[in-house]
A and B are shown apart, each in its own frame.
Chain A
Amino acid sequence: MPNKIFDKVAGNGLISRRHLLEISAAGLGMAASNSVLGADSGFNLEIPGWSRTPGPGPSAYGNRSPHTENFQRMTGFQNPTYPGGGSSRSPLQYLQGTITPNSLHFERHHAGVPDIDPVGHKLVINGLVRQPLAFSYEDLLKYQMVSRVYFLECSGNSGALLRGETGGTAQSLHGLVSCAEWTGIPLSTLLDEAGVLPDARWIAAVGADAASMGRSVPIEKALDDVMVALYQNGEPVRPGQGYPMRLFCPGWEGNISVKWLTQIKLTRGPAQFRDETSKYTDTLPDRSSYQFTFPMGTKSLITSPSGEMTLNQSGIYQVTGIAWSGSGRINRVEVSADGGQTWADADIQGHQLEKAVTRFTIPWEWNGGTAILQSRATDSRGNVQPTRSAVIADRGTVSTYHNHCIQSWEVNNTGEVINIYV
């Protein structure tokens, strides 16, 4: 097998998907190594000790293997002028499939995580409605719910690329995106109960955190696929994600999915909250600023090999990554190993759902020389992920929200993988 020549489909070693099964059957697929498990210890076919002693019995709450405990979110520094504020980033390079474990889902808080007793929490609907209403958590649990898999991405994700930051990992540069199965009540159900008056064109959603963080959502979206989410991946939404309930606006910038949701006010116009005027707006080269940029752009990212990993030897690797679009489903992901000169279609691994993360993979033979790995997504509306230079030409770098440009990972001739700009 080592001498087998695989058909190449694009420059610098990208291999036809037809060989996927052959390669995995032959056991040639290598994972790019980093510090996850240390050096390859080789085979040891003796019966191991854990096969000779019964382990502990069932437990009330499951923990992960101590061998994966270094899969951690990356948290920013605490700033005394911003108590509880900040973010934590998902370790994308350690994860597979499309669903982010709840304990590793990214977070962004504006005044810390409130310690909410659901018995004392209310969801109020008021403003331009026939009858203002209050719902208790217990009330809401009795409603018919829907479950959908959706990505969630902070609009500040990948801003580092527009700031030209050097180095970095998939996690440090792009870890403000995650994907989960969200279960909740369609907001339209609750709005219908309150009776939306014809003048209502927006809703203003407010959280019960110390900042009472608020965002405005157009009524069309509010009546479409927005939900009041009560469960995430089957368990009650965790405090860091909005327990006991959050707004969830599929496909849209993460900040608008207001956590710890406590008020929905029907209004004629947007409330013009701090976080939709001063923040989450993008100033352009002519110094006008985009406001209310809602759907997150069509985007993809190679998670392995990725920044700060090392390829230990030349040979065949599985290039894999994630793709998503706030405007539809992912139709296609292409991968390049020569910095965008030639491209090959990656294989889609698993499902291709609307506004959800899709995983892609393609085999690649590293010849030991320099390579530049990139991925490029296309969604069901035909939106194609742009290059970094196209994004900068379009909107400059004064603001760094809403960046969905192509990431370039250089593999140098010693096998180090580095974030670069082409």
Chain B
Amino acid sequence: MYKKAVLSLLAFCLASSSLVVNSQEKVRLGSPLSQEDLEGFDLIAAPDGSGFPAGSGTAQDGKAVYDINCAVCHGINGEGTTNNTVIVGGDIQSEGPPLRTVGSYWPYASTVFDFIRRAMPATAPKSLTDKQVYQVTAYVLFMNGIIQEEMELNADNLPTIKMPNADGFIDRSHIQ
């Protein structure tokens, strides 16, 4: 009995000491980055205004960029070429299944800029300049009747644009 107890105590001590050694020798191999390192890499543009680059653009100037890079899939007026490429029009309250587009569904203008900059055009993502992304974003918002054609979108005013369906979402992120 006594011998058994000593053995378990010994086993316990060995286990504890190995835990302590592990925690002291924690692997820490991350290389420190500066803000400069992150420029051009961190492309997340969020509703709080973070991540928007310098530059600006209007819908007037965006039409030419859109016609060349976007219309082949999204249609010359954003009417789409497939169910999944319609980006203009729709009414979330319509009878029957609603057409959900940038104008009728998307809750944040920041998402339009963020998505175009990182993922569009689908055949050559990240090929547009920041200025062109501002221009195309402005044109898509203009086609949806959300901004005026001559509005100069930039890092300051773009995140403040209120989208028609901004209040249409129920946040369920607390259910985890």
Contact = CB atoms under 8 A, between A and B. Distances in A.
Interface in A372-390: none
B54 interface: no
Contacts of A131: 30, 32
Contacts of B93: 287
Contact of B32 (A83, A133, A292, A398): A133
A273 interface: yes
B105 interface: yes
Contact of A212 (B43, B81, B123): B43
Contacts of B50: 267
Interface in B43-71: 43-44, 46-48, 50
B169 A278 contact: no
A240 interface: no
A398 B85 CA distance: 18
Contacts of B43: 206, 212
A210 B22 CA distance: 39
A221 interface: yes
A292 B110 CA distance: 18
Contact of B105 (A111, A133, A278): A278
Contacts, number: 158
Nearest to B72: A81
Q: How large, as a class, is the contact surface on chain A?
A: 35 or more
A132 B33 contact: yes
A290 B173 CA distance: 10
A371 interface: no
B29 A294 contact: no
A211 B41 contact: no
Given A132-B38, A194-B30, A81 B169 contact: no
B21 interface: no
Contacts of B126: 212
Interface stretch (A49-57, A138-146, A300-308, A346-354): A138-146
B173 A270 contact: yes
B100 A283 contact: yes
B111 interface: yes
Interface in A66-80: 79
Among B32, B81, B93, B119, which residue has the most Cβ atoms of chain A within 10 A? Answer: B119
A271 B111 CA distance: 8
Contact of B114 (A136, A218, A273, A398): A273
Contact of A79 (B29, B31, B82, B108): B82
A294 B31 contact: no
B125 A272 contact: no
A99 interface: no
A214 B44 contact: yes
Contacts of B84: 79, 81-82
14 contacts: A79-B82, A83-B123, A124-B33, A126-B38, A134-B37, A140-B29, A204-B44, A210-B125, A213-B119, A265-B42, A267-B46, A273-B114, A287-B168, A294-B176
Interface of B: 22, 27-35, 37-38, 41-44, 46-48, 50, 73, 81-82, 84-85, 92-93, 97-98, 100, 102, 105-108, 110-111, 114-115, 118-119, 122-123, 125-126, 168-173, 175-176
- Nearest 8 interchain pairs by C-beta: A133-B30, A292-B173, A212-B118, A139-B29, A81-B73, A274-B115, A132-B33, A211-B119
